Structure 1
Amino acid sequence: MASFTSLLVGGLAVLGCISPANAGPAQARPRAPSYQAYPERAAAVMEAFDRAWDGYYQYAFPNDSLKPISKSFENDRNGWGASAIDALSTALIMGDKKVIDQIVDYIPTINFNKTNDDSVPVSLFETTIRYLGGLLSAHDLLSGPLNNYVGSEEKLAAILDQAEHLAENLKVAFNTKSGIPINDVLFGPPRVTDEKTNGLATIGTLILEWTRLSDKTGNKEYAELAQRAESQLLLPQPRALAEPYPGLLGTNVDVETGEFVDSVGGWNGGTDSFYEYLIKIYIYDTSRFTKHKNRWVDAIDSSIKYLASHPTSRPDLTFLAAYQGNNNLTFRSGHLACFDGGNFILGGLVLDRQDYVNFGLALVDSCHETYATTATGIGPEGFAWQDNKVGFNATNNPGPPAEQSDFYADAGYWITSSYYILRPEVIESIYYAYRATGDSKYQDWAWEAFKAINETCSVGAGFSEIENVNVKGGGNFTDFQDSFWFAEVLKYSYLIQAEEAPWQISADHDNEWVFNTEAHPMKVVGKHI
């Protein structure tokens, strides 16, 4: 468990109270860290990947997701083989030729004109980050540093052709008066549903993949569609409702008017990856996306100033509150939001803002505590705390339930959802912390997290979600292995222990790749930063 004393020793004692007022526009960056690889740990992650893949390939392929206990499958992502596409960039980074060949041979056979059930909508967001992102990343890697793994130019061309074919079927989603897309579309043939609103994350997490597709194919339409939608988020209306804090927005947008309909938000699910992509699209091309960087800075400054919160029982911890309008905070978060530390760190490195890096490290340390304090060593899906500055009798600041009062006293949070659904965000942020500092403690944290997941979730033909992280053994299994297990958890667990490579995030201004929200690396086209 990381103690507050260790933070003091590291010179980070004020992380929880950094504010924009005492943070300059740019600070000198510390000398770039050195990194150490742990080949035996990386090999153990590769073994888990192969075990999960073999189970999927035997019992589920070419369907979407493995049910490892019943040794069957579930088509939760339209039946196009989500786990295969999500696994490809990880297999490439690991150099797993058997798996690479199996997936590359499969890609030309996917029929993106129909789904396994044409009555079930296709999610524009999920399809973009998993399928479109996975295909574009594979094409970038196979046409670049890993071209030795592609068998022929025809196979390479098929990957990009399939990405464009998919986008052609998805682009009907943008056919609204405002340009704000409808997230749920139907195939057979492609057509929109009657949704009236769309969410901040599901609108704002398209721009990287759709712009990359335009840049690779020369067809400007894809980028224009995503960027038109994004423009409504960069100048949100009506301002008083849409932007309760500078740079921090509500959640739901009317697809016809382009106006926000609420002021609810934060760094949790539904809004999270909009902020993530503001800085990532800037990294992708600094010449075209300065406005996005500026909006990210506004969001970061407001998050530090207004949302930073410390539990009464553990004031050394720092979490980000959610909000329901201005001055109405809720002190609840979860595993999904724990990507925030990594995003602060990444942006801080890019912009030479050590204050952002330091605050991000505080968030990483605190999310790591959600792993270090449970019976399984794995963090819960949802958690809450009592803020140490808001009045204890305030309706938005209750204490823990009686049955968790002792746990809260030690851990600094209580569990609101005990599931672990093979999410990556804590290990993801630990990866960025390591790349920013070179401190091997982060490699140890990631390794302990991986071992806990490997021990607790390994079952049947692969790995399963569990119902209770605070019971030894994890309680019951849900018999489901999501595709992002391959794309994210195993990739970040591997990268933090692996040798240097072009796609590794660098603390210097020489990043050649940026990871989409599904951890698929995209080739940077502008100045390396």
Structure 2
Amino acid sequence: MFRLRRYRYYVFFAAIVVFLLFRVAQNSEQWETVSASFPHTAPAFDPNSPPASKPIVNKHVDTSLFRGISSEDDDLPQRILDRPTTDSAPVKIPDLPKLKTTQQVNDDDDNDEGDFELPPKSDPIVEQAGVLAYDHEGAAKATTAPVINVPDKNVGQGAKDVDKKPTTTTIHWKKVPEHFPVPESEIIPLPTGKPKKIPTIQYAFGKESAENREIREARRQQVKAEMERGWAGYWKYAKGHDELSPVTKKFRDPFCGWAATLVDSLDTLWIMGMEEEFKEALAEVEKIDFTVSKRAEIPVFETTIRYLGGLIAAYDVSGGKSGGYDILLKKAVELAEILMGVFDTPNRMPVLYYNWKPQFASQPKRAGTSASVAELGSLAMEFTRLAQITKENKYYDAVARITDAFYEWEERGTSLPGIFPERIDSSGCNQTAQSELEAAQNAAELEAYDQIDSSNDLGTETTLTDEDKVDFESDVKPKGRHNEPDNTKSPIFKRSGKSTALNLNVVKKKNPKTGKVELVAGQRTLPECVSQGLTSGSWGSEQYSMGGSQDSTYEYFPKQWLLLGGLEPKYKELHLKVIEAVKKWLLFRPMVPDDRDILFSAKVTTNGEPETDARTIYEVTHLTCFIGGMFGLGGKIFEVPTDVEIGKKLTEGCVWAYESTATGIMPEAAHVLPCPDAKNCHWNQTLYEHTLDPSFESRDQQIKEYYDRRAKARAAMRKVKEEMKSEEESSSSAGETEYPRKSIFDEKMARGSHAGRDNANIRKRAPVSATENPADDAAETKLLPDKSKAKSSAAKFEDLEDSDPAPGFKKEFVDIKIENEKLPKGFVTVNSRSYILRPEAIESVWYMYRITGDKKWQDEGWKMFEAIVRHTTTDVGSSAIDNVLSTRTTQLNEMESFWTAETLKYFYLLYSEPNLISLDHWVLNTEAHPFKRPKAPFGV
């Protein structure tokens, strides 16, 4: 009996193993389902199994638990929307559930490319134009769209066609009916009529000397060589992907995986005469499938300025309709039709992060409550130019409504009249009033859920599950973007309560089987809305600047006026009011060592009363450097000469920021010291040191306290030495010579006398002097084992009495700060030391050269170019760097598409003939894509 008890556990587990083996043998065919996607001998057909066309599915099982099928399973909104309805009666769950995946739903509809008509292929046109065509058939054979492998739904137990290979399905965007369409009669048309006469922008360049031409041409060729090297690296290691990783020779897809660098660089290739590379790139353009993305959401702003702008500009610079490259217009229209879905909101303000999958895109949407100014207002040029080319007013209508909303808001007034706060509520709903409505609606729904709970208690079946409470925002933000701030919204999914996107519509419905009335989840609807126009998206403090998240909207006002031939006056009014506000609130002159007369644009925060509570941050950011070109361009076309002069000073400011660093490259973001008087500003070293030392005001008091403590310490030390001397004399007379007693000084130091504590405290608050050794302080606090060390301690205190570290105390703090932080003279802080190949500074330099004709801008630009190349060059391209304040930089392995789309293009144009992309014939979007200025209605 005792032995049986000892082995009872083994007997028990052995019985379980035997039982499991029996079950495995009995159900072995079901195990084949697990490996159905691998080559194997097909199982025998089971006549008792359900038909293959109607697999057993438990509709109450959350398919998100079954991960590993495809990358699409990570998309929470799509999983929610793809969940089958729960109207049917529950079914028995098989041992191994054979669930239909998200990608298998509506399989026949996934390949629908939409119901819009696209332009025909370009072969006949190309042949007529006598232009070398690219291989359409070869391009069509490949695709860059991600392929998702999904096991065939008919493979496994009960499959009729056991030899059928696994299929591959991909979720595609498809055009869906609009919830808030604009009636045809209300579509805002492009302005009609002959474009107005606009003042000449470019300087009247004269004949160039042979020497100047030689220098200019040599520089131009070096810029082109950088483009050729970077393009070759991209083509070899990242073709078809968004960006090259130039250090590791790999690629990245931070956008939608639609070959951002390739599309963004098309017009650069043409402008630089790289026609063979341009034609090769066209074959890759034709492969791009805009109906599929590697991202769950499309970043609308970046997609519009890089992709849509890039395609339109490449079409324009390559000759437009007569050029024969109609693939560019075709792909632009394809992309624009997808992006048009973002405007399907009640107030027609766009959703800026667009979840494109049909199950989500088909739901009603509302614009976000915390959009950035730049993202909302920087779509105008691209859609306007597309409308001009295609003669489709719907594209212009989409962005004209945004402009009208900004114009109406400016008329109502903002805290800083003329400019807009960084964050905007574009939802069109008064949040305070809406909250009251939602509270009432929530209460009603809670009551409905209580009824559902009651019916469940009675055993009545209901179709409403906890998952049906899931709601999600329409303005989902991406993980990250090179020029975006930290306070942007992150993805939010609420499991109870209401969001500003969709509400669950709980309705009563009669169950045809039971005859009972049940509460079920109806179609998702938008919540109640108390209408309003654009307003601030921030609670309390608002930020105003010309920097990141705000910049390009202001840039587009004068450029859009040019693109429309001066026929829409709103853009001129908006621009002039912006300029006045910037002059009043943001412009400042920094105090710099050589007293240069330069300007920067600051950031202002206010709680709504700027005259009394405005707080100015005197920042210097690379993104803001576009403003010199904006002032210069606006000053020319609206005939305001003083604005051109301001543009020069703003551009000079960014040139100075480049010249000031160890690398010769401007940092991403820094702060400087403003001049008290912009008209009378001279370098003040004392004021500069005062600013660098955050405790400057209290330094004098600290030094006085330091001297007081030193005096007390000396007095205490004299007393200690007298006691020591008395003790030694007493010990000597008593014959105590072998083991000396500890001195009173040592005992006091061991207990922590005031002298010891005061010394330690002053050392912690202040930097260590170059003439003092901190090791001495540690030695003084140790117990002294004999008289010799007591004498040594006394000697040290005698030295301490004679030392005087206080003089130069303030300067020492500043010097150490400058040395540790490697601050260029004139900079107060540098809070972002990187350079990510940005174009904004050279952009304004180019504008100044074309507007003024002054060749000094070419010289300034060349110093910038040489510095950038020196520190960013890799074997196959150029890389962002981590620290422009040190010549020992680290390359960050990132080459943004704007390096080839903007930065190198501006450098190239700076050293090209002035008639190449003349400002009198072209207008460039914020990604440096040139659009043709109109000479006739619709700009064609």
TM tier, smaller: 0.7 to 0.9
Question: Does the CA-based 8 Å contact 1:321-1:332 persist in structure 2?
Answer: yes
The aligned residue for residue 220 of structure 1 is: 393
Give the residue type in structure 2 aligned to 1:284. Answer: L
Query: What is aligned with 2:339?
Result: 170
Q: Percent identity?
A: 31
Question: What is the aligned partner in structure 2 of residue 260 from structure 1?
Answer: 535
Q: Does 1:453 align with 2:631?
A: no
Give distance in 2, aligned partners of 1:347 and 1:341: 10
Q: Which amino acid aligns with 2:896?
A: D
What is the TM-score normalised by the length of structure 1? 0.85
For 1:63-462, list aligned pairs within 5 A.
Answer: 63-117=241-295, 119=296, 121-144=297-320, 153=324, 156-189=325-358, 191=361, 195-236=368-409, 239-240=412-413, 243-257=414-428, 258-261=533-536, 262=538, 263-313=542-592, 316-325=597-606, 326=610, 327-389=614-676, 399-400=691-692, 402=814, 405=818, 410-412=825-827, 414-462=829-877
Change (3 A) 1:350 1:237: closer
Question: Is the CA contact 2:201–2:633 (under 8 Å) kept in the aligned structure 1?
Answer: no
Query: 2:237–2:251: 8 Å Cα contact kept in structure 1?
Result: yes
CA shift in 2, pair 1:30/1:486, >3 Å: closer
The CA deviation at 1:168 is 0.8
Q: CA deviation at 1:268?
A: 0.4
**Residue 495 of structure 1 contacts residue 504 of structure 1 at CA under 8 Å; is this kept in 2?**
no
Could you tell me which amino acid in structure 1 is paired with residue 406 of structure 2? L
Maintained 8 Å contact 1:123/1:183: yes
Give the aligned partner of residue 8 of structure 1.
Answer: none
Q: How does 1:1-20 map to 2 (within 5 A)?
A: none
Change in Cα spacing, 1:306 to 1:196, as seen in structure 2 (3 Å) is closer
RMSD: 2.6
SS in 1 for 2:220: helix
The total of aligned residue pairs comes to 480
Give the SS at the match of 1:73: strand
- The 3-state SS of whatever aligns with 2:219 is helix
Match of 1:492, as an amino acid? Y
Q: Does the 8 Å contact 1:385/1:399 carry over to 2?
A: no
Report the secondary structure of 2:236's partner residue: helix
Partner deviation per Cα, 1:151-182 (whole Å, 9 max, x = no partner): xx3xx222111111101111111122222212
SS at match of 1:66: strand
Q: What is the deviation of 1:363?
A: 0.4
Using the TM superposition, name which of 282-291 and 102-111 deviates more: 282-291
Cα separation, partners in 2 of 1:27 and 1:312, compared to 1, 3 Å: farther
2:931 equivalent to 1:517: no
Q: Which amino acid aligns with 2:923?
A: V
> Structure 1: which 5+ residue stretches go unaligned?
1-25, 393-397, 506-510
Distance 1:246 1:33, change over 3 A: farther
- Offset of residue 477 of structure 1: 1.1
Partners of 1:64 and 1:76 within 8 A in 2: yes
Larger Rg: 2
Question: Residue 344 and residue 481 in structure 1: after superposition, are their counterparts in 2 closer, same or farther (change >3 A)?
Answer: same
| Residues 479-525 of structure 1, C-alpha deviations (whole Å, 9 max, x = no match) | 010000011110000000012335122xxxxx111000000000011
Q: Distance in 2 between matches of 1:497 and 1:114?
A: 40
The separation in 1 between residues aligned to 2:238 and 2:379, in whole angstroms, is 28
Q: Which runs of 5+ in 2 are unaligned?
A: 1-197, 429-532, 678-683, 685-689, 694-813
Q: Which moved more, 1:327-336 or 1:292-301?
A: 327-336
Could you tell me which amino acid in structure 1 is paired with residue 691 of structure 2? G
| Residues 334 and 383 in structure 1, CA contact (< 8 A), matched pair in contact too | yes
Hey, what's the Cα distance between the residues in 2 that align with 1:28 and 1:485? Answer: 29
The 10-residue stretch of structure 1 (496-505 or 56-65) with the greater mean CA deviation from structure 2? 496-505
Tell me which residue corresponds to 1:508: none
Deviates more, 1:303-312 or 1:58-67: 303-312
**SS of the residue aligned with 2:923?**
strand
SS of the residue corresponding to residue 892 of structure 2 reads coil
> Once the 2 structures are TM-superposed, how far is the Cα of residue 437 of structure 1 from its aligned partner?
1.4
Instruction: Report Cα offsets for 1:84-109 as digits up to 9, x if no partner.
Output: 01111111111111211111222111
Report the AA paired with residue 116 of structure 1: K
Deviations 1:376-424 (A, max 9, x none): 111100011122339x9xxxxx934655558768335542210000000
Aligned partner of residue 476 in structure 1, secondary structure: coil
Q: Which position in structure 2 is the counterpart of 1:489?
A: 903
Q: Which amino acid aligns with 2:599?
A: T
Q: Secondary structure at the match of 1:421?
A: coil
* Paired amino acid for 2:590: P
SS at 2:427 equivalent: coil
| Contact 1:322/1:333, CA 8 A, preserved across alignment | no
Shift of 1:287: 3.6
Contact 1:185/1:193 (CA < 8 Å) preserved in 2? no
Given that 1:319 and 1:363 are in contact with CA atoms closer than 8 Å, whether structure 2 keeps it comes out as yes
Cα deviations by residue, 1:218-237 (Å, 9 ceiling, x for unpaired): 21111101111221111217
Compared CA separation, residues 451 and 233, structure 1 to 2 (3 A): same
Q: Secondary structure at the match of 1:501?
A: coil
Distance in 2 between residues matched to 1:415 and 1:371, nearest whole Å: 13
Distance in 2 separating the partners of 1:387 and 1:418: 21
Note the C-alpha offset of 1:28.
12
Distance in 1 (alpha carbons) for counterparts of 2:233 and 2:378: 31
Q: Counterpart amino acid of 1:346? A: L
Cα deviation for residue 290 of structure 1 reads 1.6
Residues 499 and 313 of structure 1: is their aligned pair in 2 closer, same or farther, counting only changes over 3 Å? closer
- Looking at structure 2, the residues matched to 461 and 126 of structure 1 have their Cα atoms a distance apart, in angstroms, of 25
Distance in 2, matches of 1:137 and 1:124, equals: 18
